[in-house]
Structure 1
Amino acid sequence: MTTLSSLNTATTAALAPLVDSANRSPVVSANVIDGQSMALSSPSTVVTIPSSTGVVALETYTPEVTLAGVTPTVTTASDSRDAVTLQMLGSYTAAQTMTGQFSGVGSALLDRFKTTGSDFSQSVSMTGGIVPSSPQGPEGKIDLTVKTKSGVTVDIEIDSGGGSLSASIKSSGKLSDSERSAVAQLADGFQQAIDGLSAAPQKLDLSGLAQFDASALASVNFQYNVTNDGSANISASYSQSSASRSLSIKSAEGAIDVSVDTSNSALWGTSSQRAASIASYLQQFDQANSGGHGNGALMSMFEDGFAQMNEDYGTPSGQVLPGAAYAPALQQADQAMLTGLGDFSASIADAATSPNPMRPGEVNSFSYQVSQTTKLAGSQLDGQITQHQQSHLSASYHQASSGGGEPVLTSSRSSQNYDYVQIDDSTDSTVQIATERGALLDASLNQSSDRKTRDSKYEEGELISDVTTPEETSQSSDLLALLKPLIDNGDATRDSVEWQQALSRIHGMIQLGA
């Protein structure tokens, strides 16, 4: 009888980490040979072939691409039982998806950094019968770069792919206790951002990263990328400093971009004013998505990103609006006539589709842009303020002629009964304010909208109607006339309930689309 030894020399450990009966903690094998983690004391696999047949037996593999009869072993690059390693082992072995391996790893890395402040690296992989099915399997990469006020950079990386999970944290220099604590405070926010993008469906949770300790940290940059995973592919980045915030997401669903200028705290209204403006914008986004038949999941991420990036800008620097430095009531009035948000630009675009094989040029599409720009001029005594808000929706979609949802269109003429709707919708809102020596000289609001809807109706594939409907509106309001009686009778100076109610009404009027 002839015996052949397999080239595979990995240990036959269980897929989950081995457990020491005394302390119930995983037993990790950690020999490193030629840069690869190998198990200790591993017996060879023996294949017995009857010599009388003269046939060479081939090793058999399971559908999961493992050697039949050989149990894979989870190994680590370094022999350690620290909290990060244990978390990596637990996530790696329990994960049902590649992105599931990221669970808890980001927060574990930063929690460790709070107590030690030292660099760290670890990797977990599977050996012993694993045969990679393809070098082009799903891969994930996460980066968090934090820069402190003193100029020290901390880099956190998490990678998954090719059957392994690795994680590291490195600092370019020594951090003070307050800096190290500020970095560690990002643990929950970092993990929440990871978990949201790793979920199905994907979600966006930047709130924890957006609220970093600006007294110790200068900037935060977060990147999340998944490739070779089909419709689950996604590229997301978020960066924030004291002057700006930016978000970019690209996936199979479409693309999102949001940027906010936070450099001028004079524009920041009260928390209630910001909340009201955010709520108004979210309502507009919902209306645009509904009217343009946009992707609900992508719009949800867009709304979450916009709200989280604008809900709290941190501690204001003490800047004031021009012309209002010595008049608290005038400062209140000016802020009420502005959104209270920092200037921003935001856009969302769904991935276009061509659902009609008989007319591939008819695409289902959704594209929406919205922005705010503010111009300030003058001095502490005299000032001019102009704030402009605008939005633009471009969308097209197919709708069943019967009034139902999206039609099922085929190459058969009998399926070609539908409406093809195209929308081009723009809105604008502009506030202009002029002050002189503590007095409000002018305050006006101009709003307009321009909407064109084209409805092309088909029956049995024949165009029976093609109608374009334009809608235009415009209105102007004298905001000074609404406030002047309250200014003249002293309500503004006394900061009366009537004054605050008037400011609240005006703030509602200046919202885009109000």
Structure 2
Amino acid sequence: MTTLSSLNLAAPLVPTPRSDSVNPAVAVDGDARRMVALSPSAIVTIPSASSITVLETYTPEGTLSAAMPTVSWASDNRDAVTLRMAGNYAAQTMAGRFAGLGSALLDRFRTTGSDYSQTVSVGSAGVGGIGRSSQQPAGQIGLTVRTASGVTVEIALGSEDGGLSVSIKSSGALSESERNALAKLSEGFQQAIDGLGAVPPKLDLSGLTQSDTSVLASVSFEYSITGAGNADVSASYSQDSAARSLSVTSAAGTMSVKVDTSHSALWGTNAQRAASVASYLQQFDHANSRGHGNATLMSMFEDGFAQMNESYGTPSAEVLPGTGYGPGLQQSAQAMLTGLADFSASITDASASPNPMRPGEIDAFSYQVSQTTQLEGSRFEGKISQSQRSHLVASYHQALKGGAKPALTSLRSSQNYDYVRIDDSGESAVQLAMERGALAHASLRQTSDRSTRHLKYERGVLTSDLATPEETSRSTELLSLLEPLIDKGDAARNSAEWQQALSRVHRMILLNASK
């Protein structure tokens, strides 16, 4: 007796006579049925392939082959956020999944002022109805805002295993001014998300840094993409009335910027800040070029530094020590400072060891820059000292000809390259003193210490080892540059000549470690 067994173990088949009304995929013709009844052996005529309906079978993972994924919603809503999620959850990139979602959530809160959550889950049918993880990258985004009245609003976006979730909740009712201030973060929140989700990632925090600190006491933004390999990136930004802090980690390396905004007396005019930021960006470019740093990470570093120093909000009534006698003293002192709030910033590239014959030779890049200011005295007499510092440590390989990266292998014939080590530092320090309503002392001291070690290898043999130190130091009496104009009354009149002199002094005091 011949026995027919289905490959679908979940539904075994037994060949029994069936009427002509059954599914043609399993029916046999009349002659075959009669032969089954008359003979201990069975002869079955298989229908043509075109008439077969494929039975459902399970994959080794326990899911139905050819089964459509199941989509489940936590809430049966038809609001704008749900519609946005419905259009986003199937996107192949995290940028696509979070596109427009942050702003949509804040826009809804502006209108309703109520808490909200929604989730869409995606799975596939399996044995016992259990789905399997899609092993896709995961993303988590958060925005926490605390208002001046003490109310905390938390916004969360998440994507995991092909699903998408959002929520917003408030610890209390918001006033109209607070809701308006929060609504103004809508575009900035989405810009920050879109920038970090771009390829390569970018920083666009300007919409968050410009929040109204008189209404929103603090703003905190978190972003994390994991499980995406080299596309993994995490970022954190926070600000309140006294400080701003940014950190970013990616496959390219890490960077951080911290700004102390607690002393508004240090904040210069828009023109002074813009000039100082532009000068620093030139310094960053020079350091990156000299040390062969990662261009993408440095671009993010520059964007973060510029955005965090573009504007600090509304200043307090604080003035620089010793400048209370008149605007001329305030202008003089401010011109000899950067106009920026004190800060510290650093960037470190992911290191590499590209030479198998000399694994101790590391390609690396690390750069730090900072400003610190000390204020002593009262409104009518006082001292000010401000110091700007930078430090670059880098090392890299380059081909003997052309300066490109060499293709280094374990073969001696590939070992033709230069290995360069750099250690640079620079400082610009200003000392000011105001006595009895006059500028009594103003000096500038700038130093630069640059060290370059150049090792040359030919067929794996060190043929040259050259160290080149460079040291410079100069001091300038700034008071002598301004006294003639002060004596002539240009300072009191705030003449064009006086403003030009202040601009020249301001350019002189800016850090320039490349000289």
Q: Which bracket does the TM-score occupy, shorter chain normalised?
A: 0.7 to 0.9
Task: Please give the root-mean-square deviation of Cα atoms over the aligned residues, in Å.
Answer: 2.5
Measured after TM superposition, the shift of residue 129 of structure 1 is 4.5
Alignment map for 1:369-408 (pairs within 5 Å): 369-408=368-407
Alpha-carbon displacement from aligned partner over 1:35-55 (angstroms, at most 9, x marks no partner):
xxxxxxxxxxx9x889999xx
Alignment map for 1:91-490 (pairs within 5 Å): 91-93=88-90, 95-129=91-125, 134=133, 136-490=135-489
Alpha-carbon displacement from aligned partner over 1:309-344 (angstroms, at most 9, x marks no partner):
000001111210000012100100100000000000
Counterparts of 1:226 and 1:382, CA distance in 2: 53
Counterparts of 1:354 and 1:132, CA distance in 2: 43
Match of 1:20 in 2: none
Q: Percent identity at matched positions?
A: 65
When the two structures are superposed, what TM-score results if normalisation uses the length of structure 1? 0.87
Distance 1:353 1:335, change over 3 A: same
Q: Is the 8 A contact 2:124 2:132 kept in 1?
A: no
Alpha-carbon displacement from aligned partner over 1:421-473 (angstroms, at most 9, x marks no partner):
00000000000000011100010000000011000000000001111110000
Measured after TM superposition, the shift of residue 180 of structure 1 is 1.3
Which stretch of the first structure deviates more once superposed, 128-137 or 350-359? 128-137
Measured after TM superposition, the shift of residue 135 of structure 1 is 6.6
Alpha-carbon displacement from aligned partner over 1:246-266 (angstroms, at most 9, x marks no partner):
001111110001000001100
Q: Is the 8 A contact 2:155 2:167 kept in 1?
A: yes
Measured after TM superposition, the shift of residue 182 of structure 1 is 1.0
Q: Is the 8 A contact 1:427 1:450 kept in 2?
A: yes
1:79 partnered with 2:76: yes
Q: Is the 8 A contact 1:98 1:161 kept in 2?
A: no
Q: How many residues align?
A: 471
Amino acid aligned to 2:102? G
* Structure 1: gaps (5+ residues): 8-45
Give the 3-state SS of the residue equivalent to 2:396 in structure 1.
strand
Give the 3-state SS of the residue equivalent to 1:115 in structure 2.
helix
1:69 partnered with 2:74: no
Q: Is the 8 A contact 1:448 1:475 kept in 2?
A: yes
Counterparts of 2:474 and 2:27, CA distance in 1: 94
Give the 3-state SS of the residue equivalent to 2:475 in structure 1.
strand
Measured after TM superposition, the shift of residue 224 of structure 1 is 0.4
Distance 1:462 1:78, change over 3 A: same
1:59 partnered with 2:30: no
Counterparts of 1:173 and 1:369, CA distance in 2: 42
Counterparts of 2:437 and 2:386, CA distance in 1: 20
Amino acid aligned to 1:324? T
Distance 1:470 1:119, change over 3 A: same
Alignment map for 1:11-22 (pairs within 5 Å): none
Q: Is the 8 A contact 2:56 2:64 kept in 1?
A: no
Counterparts of 1:469 and 1:100, CA distance in 2: 51
Q: Is the 8 A contact 2:321 2:380 kept in 1?
A: yes
Amino acid aligned to 2:73? T
Distance 1:233 1:312, change over 3 A: same
Counterparts of 1:132 and 1:511, CA distance in 2: 61
Amino acid aligned to 1:275? A
Amino acid aligned to 1:266? A
Counterparts of 1:370 and 1:132, CA distance in 2: 51
Counterparts of 2:453 and 2:236, CA distance in 1: 37
Measured after TM superposition, the shift of residue 229 of structure 1 is 1.2
Q: Is the 8 A contact 2:94 2:197 kept in 1?
A: no
Counterparts of 1:442 and 1:231, CA distance in 2: 54
Counterparts of 2:427 and 2:325, CA distance in 1: 32
Measured after TM superposition, the shift of residue 352 of structure 1 is 0.1
Match of 1:38 in 2: none
Moved over 6 A (4+): 1-7, 48-53, 130-133
Measured after TM superposition, the shift of residue 235 of structure 1 is 1.5
Give the 3-state SS of the residue equivalent to 1:498 in structure 2.
helix
Give the 3-state SS of the residue equivalent to 2:339 in structure 1.
coil
Distance 1:50 1:327, change over 3 A: farther
Q: Is the 8 A contact 1:277 1:339 kept in 2?
A: yes
Give the 3-state SS of the residue equivalent to 2:431 in structure 1.
strand
When the two structures are superposed, what TM-score results if normalisation uses the length of structure 2? 0.87
Which stretch of the first structure deviates more once superposed, 248-257 or 132-141? 132-141
Distance 1:62 1:436, change over 3 A: farther
